[in-house]
Amino acid sequence: PALPYDATGYTLALQMGVKFDRILDGFEAPTERVADVMATPPGKIEGSGRAGWLIDHAPVNGYILSNRLLKAGVPVFWQEGETPAGRQTLAPGALWIPASDAARPIVEAAVRDLGLNAHAAARAPGGDKIALKPVRVGLVDRYGGSMASGWTRWMLEQFEYPFEVVYPQRLDAGDLARDFDVLVFASDMIPADLSAAAQRGQPEPESIPAEYRSWLGHITADKTVPQLDAFVRGGGSVVTIGSAHRLATAMGAPVQDVLLGADGKAPASTDFFIPGAVLKTEVDNRQPLAFGAPAQMNVFFNRNSGFRRTGETGSIVRYPEQVAVASGWAIGKQKLAGSDAVLDLPHGEGRVIVLGPDVVNRAQARSSVRLLFNALFYGPAVSAEE
């Protein structure tokens, strides 16, 4: 077949986790015209307990609340197991916020403005918890700009994550733990060849304004990767999105790309080609990286990869044995059968978290972006415990 040059499927409702019915026939119904952006309907607080609040992990606005609480110095926890909350039971990952004078106005504002529902508990819930900590995020970019990094930056801003844009010169300088807990590499940040000779040209420093010269430089195997390896081994976290998984391989993490042959080469486009489509995945949402996700989740696959898991860890997000395209077009999709879409790889005292699909995709993937948001909290929290 003639290969398309761009994405073949990007159905927004599927990427955003919106349930809908497709109606092909005309119908009449009582409707109301919406003239502007709709305000988020307010949530509500149920119960009258005074010990604190339980909030479901599924609504993505919960990440905004978590960041506001942490910024104010208020403790926030994730419940590792199912948690009773009045007449309902919340899935693993429920937020537990102990009551305090500092917490109350932030929670109440989130219920009112962010549409979150909270349960006011009479006593602290039992079970194991993960204590979140304020995270210092470094979002890696380059001179001239990365579109994928730019969209990731916008999402971090919208969900109120504190972050700093980081360039290769800063990575090469090392001592990264002084400034960062987690470093994020967007899908177009890691080239297939990390040798210095393979990097594309940049302007001479003296030809650009002085304030931009620190943005110059390249991520390379000889200068950058050793500093990143030391950062992770010392307790830091690296999160890669999409094709940036090459960095995990360069760091020596046990990443097995199911698409690569014995010669290390990718298959020909006549054998495997998914230039941009929405694929279905199976999710173990009992695991922290997938807290709040549905058991079946759509992800945007854009010339990405699947992985074979090593070690004893269970699958977090995987492609089913019968790979299904929810929207778009694919050649050779069965090469992904049973492979993992997400990996959590302990590396020294820290971890490398590989998010195989494009979980951000131009800020459209509001369902799968939770994998990134969970990773930003989870890596530093677990490393701090260990």
**DSSP per position, 248-270:** HHHTT---EETT--TTSPPPPTT
Predicted confidence at residue 176, as pLDDT, reads 96
Q: How far is Cα 228 from Cα 175, in angstroms, rounded to an integer?
A: 9
What are the C-alpha distances in Å from 50 to residues 46, 87, 98, 155, 261?
Answer: 12, 17, 9, 34, 59
Q: Among the listed ranges 14-28, 185-199, 261-275, which one has the minimum average pLDDT value?
A: 185-199
pLDDT tens-place string over residues 111-132: 999 999 999 999 999 999 999 9
Predicted confidence at residue 193, as pLDDT, reads 77
Predicted confidence at residue 385, as pLDDT, reads 57
Give the chain's domains with CATH numbers: 45-131 (3.30.70), 137-385 (3.40.50.880)
Helix (H, G, I), strand (E, B) or coil at 370: helix
Q: Average pLDDT in the 290-311 region?
A: 90
Q: Average pLDDT in the 353-377 region?
A: 93
pLDDT tens-place string over residues 191-247: 777 776 566 778 889 898 899 988 888 888 999 999 999 999 999 999 999 999 999
Predicted confidence at residue 103, as pLDDT, reads 97
Q: Which residues pair with 275 in a beta bridge?
A: none
Q: Among the listed ranges 8-12, 41-45, 162-166, which one has the minimum average pLDDT value?
A: 8-12
Mean pLDDT of the chain: 91
Angle, helices 61-71/103-113, rounded to nearest 10 degrees = 160
Give me the amino acid identity at 206: E
Predicted confidence at residue 197, as pLDDT, reads 54
pLDDT at position 31 over 60: yes
Please give the model's pTM, rounded to 2 decimal places.
0.92
pLDDT tens-place string over residues 312-339: 567 899 999 999 999 999 999 999 999 9
Tell me the CB-side half-sphere exposure of residue 359, using CA atoms within 13 A: 30
Q: How far is Cα 372 from Cα 66, in angstroms, rounded to an integer?
A: 15
> If 0-12 CB within 10 Å is exposed, 13-18 middle and 19+ buried, where does residue 312 land?
exposed
Dig out the tokens for 195 from the structure.
């040798």
Predicted confidence at residue 217, as pLDDT, reads 87
Predicted confidence at residue 17, as pLDDT, reads 87
Backbone phi, psi, residue 53, to 5°:
-130, 140
Instruction: Choose among 164, 177, 167, 186: nearest CA to 231.
Output: 177
Residue 361: other Cβ atoms inside 10 A:
25
